[in-house]
Amino acid sequence: MQILVTGGAGYIGSHTVVELLAQGHEVVVLDDLSNASAEALRRVGEIAGREVELLEVDVTDEAAVLAALEGARPEAVVHFAALKAVGESVEQPERYYRTNVGGTLNLVRAMDAVGCRTLVFSSSATVYGAATQMPLTEDSPLGATNPYGWTKFMTEQVLRDVAASDERWSVALLRYFNPVGAHPSGRIGEDPRGVPNNLVPFIAQVAVGRREQLTVFGDDFDTPDGTGVRDYIHVVDLAEGHVAALAKISGPDGVRGAHAWNLGTGTGSSVRQVVAAFERASGREVPVRVAPRRAGDVATSYADPARARDELGWTARRGLDEMCEDTWRWQSGNPQGYATS
Ligand code: UFG
């Protein structure tokens, strides 16, 4: 298939492009490079053995999005392009709604105009809000605790309504748990700008010597060791989940309508367990200090991944040690990310 991938130069996008190319699909990437690097795509081309075309377009630019779709004539779209920092979304809500919700509206309008109605959407376990009943199934109650979370919640609703209005639409709402790890080649990985918000990139930068110590946000949660428990999923497993979802919703026999699937492992790991696994993988010590809880953090979050297994034939296969080993290969080989390596 001819596939347009928005946000395809970013962390999850670049890994997904690798897997799509490996399946024989043709890929065009739409990305404004605001939190991504053209170098990532160049390396994706290296891994895949063929170059990937980049359209430097901002999803909030309606005319440019339409022109891109008219040029690329995709048969399906995988939509990653969005802002994703929780704290920043509290400071700049309008920008988050404009980019994440408005950007998706631009994309849907352009897709409809060119007759492409097959869409895989990058959603998040954040749509389960402050749910406490674990594991989370696709039928768990939805909500949000910050503007970023509301943008994912609202975009899912927009896409459900669009799919309900016209039976030609097929939409996969993929709810990611905590993506970590890197391609086993060590050539592409997560390269956050500024201070990492997320646990594993922060640990990796401590291990490689860019930062002194990890701050553990709370060790008084109701969990076995007191630190927060999350469902970490290897980014290559996640990328394979996109390929499986696309296969499910595309072609003449593809499932129509909008459907949500959790992409997680079903296993939770605590902050201390992740630190220990990273120390084993890297052979480096990761000094930590404990600080108060971060606003909005829940004690525990992990998926029930049964629906994706049963309906997509997909399961996450890579464990925490492999996630840390692959992250370390990427981080140690590219200490400054894509910048100077
Ligand atoms: N943590 C630390 N120190 C850090 C960073 C994180 O102790 O420097 C802890 C957090 O308190 C949490 C765990 O590590 O217990 C994971 O935190 P992340 O920030 O890596 O991930 P979250 O689960 O908080 O957030 C992720 C996504 C968000 C999404 C959210 C809910 O990054 O986009 O899941 O789905 F909104």
Q: Dump pLDDT digits (tens) for 212-238.
A: 999 999 999 999 999 999 999 999 999
Could you tell me if residue 285 is inside a domain? yes
Q: Does some domain include residue 187? A: no
Residues 170 and 309 in one domain: no
Q: Which atom of ligand 1 is nearest to the CA of 148?
A: 36
| Claim to verify: residue 219 and residue 116 sit in the same structural domain | no
Shared-domain flag, residues 75 and 134: yes
Q: Are residues 255 and 310 in the same domain?
A: no
> Is 189 a member of any domain?
no
Of the candidates 96, 97, 128, 148, the residue annotated as catalytic is 148
CA atoms within 13 A on the CB side of 112: 13
Q: Does one domain contain both 158 and 272? A: no
Q: In the listed set 263, 283, 304, which residue is the last one of a domain according to the structure?
A: 263
pLDDT at 254 > cutoff 60: yes
Residues 6+ apart with CB under 8 A from 79: 6, 7, 104, 107, 119, 120, 121, 122
Residue minimizing CA distance to atom 30 of ligand 1: 126
Q: How does pLDDT run across 162-219, given as a tens digit for each residue? A: 999 999 999 999 999 999 999 999 999 999 999 999 999 999 999 999 999 999 999 9
User: Do 286 and 226 lie in a common domain?
Assistant: yes
Kind of pairing between the strands at 269-270 and 300-301: unpaired
CA 229 to ligand 1 center in whole angstroms: 9
Q: List, for residues 36-81, the tens digit of each pLDDT value.
A: 999 999 999 999 999 999 999 999 999 999 999 999 999 999 999 9
Q: Could you tell me the distance, in angstroms and rounded to a whole number, from the CA of residue 199 to the centre of ligand 1?
A: 6
Q: Please report, for the domain that includes residue 286, its CATH number.
A: 3.90.25.10
E strand or H helix that includes residue 337 = none
Range of the domain at 293: 199-230+266-333
Instruction: Enumerate residues lining ligand 1, CB below 6 A.
Output: 84, 86, 124-126, 149, 178, 197-199, 202, 214-217, 228, 230, 271, 294, 297
Q: Are residues 253 and 142 in the same domain?
A: yes
Q: Is residue 339 part of a domain?
A: no
Angle at alpha carbon of residue 312, lines to 311 and 317, rounded to 5°? 120
Note whether residue 327 is domain-resident: yes
Q: pLDDT by residue (tens digit) across 270-304?
A: 999 999 999 999 999 999 999 999 998 999 999 99
Instruction: Using the 3D structure, point to which of 263, 281, 314 is the last residue of a domain.
Output: 263
The closest residue, in CA terms, to atom 6 on ligand 1 is: 199
Q: If residue 235 lies in a helix (H) or strand (E), which one and from where to where?
A: helix 235-249
DSSP codes of every residue in 27-78: EEEE---TTS-HHHHHHHHHHHTS--EEE---TT-HHHHHHHHHHH--SEEE
Cα torsion 19, 24, 25, 30: sign: positive
Q: Are residues 129 and 213 in the same domain?
A: no
- Indicate whether 49 and 108 sit together in one domain: yes
Average pLDDT, the chain: 97
176 is catalytic: no
- Report yes or no: 193 and 29 within 8 Å, Cβ to Cβ: no
One domain for residues 157 and 283: no
Residues 127 and 246 in one domain: yes
CATH of the domain at 150: 3.40.50.720
Number of domains making up the chain? 2
Atom 4, ligand 1: residue with shortest CA distance: 199
Give domain status of residue 338, yes or no: no
pLDDT value for 341: 47
Q: Ligand 1, closest atom to CA 127? A: 35
| Whether residue 162 is found in the same domain as residue 282 | no
Residue 144: is its pLDDT beyond 90? Answer: yes
Question: Which pLDDT belongs to residue 340?
Answer: 63
- 123, part of any domain: yes
Residue 157: inside a domain:
yes
The confidence band for 105, taking pLDDT boundaries of 50, 70 and 90, is very high
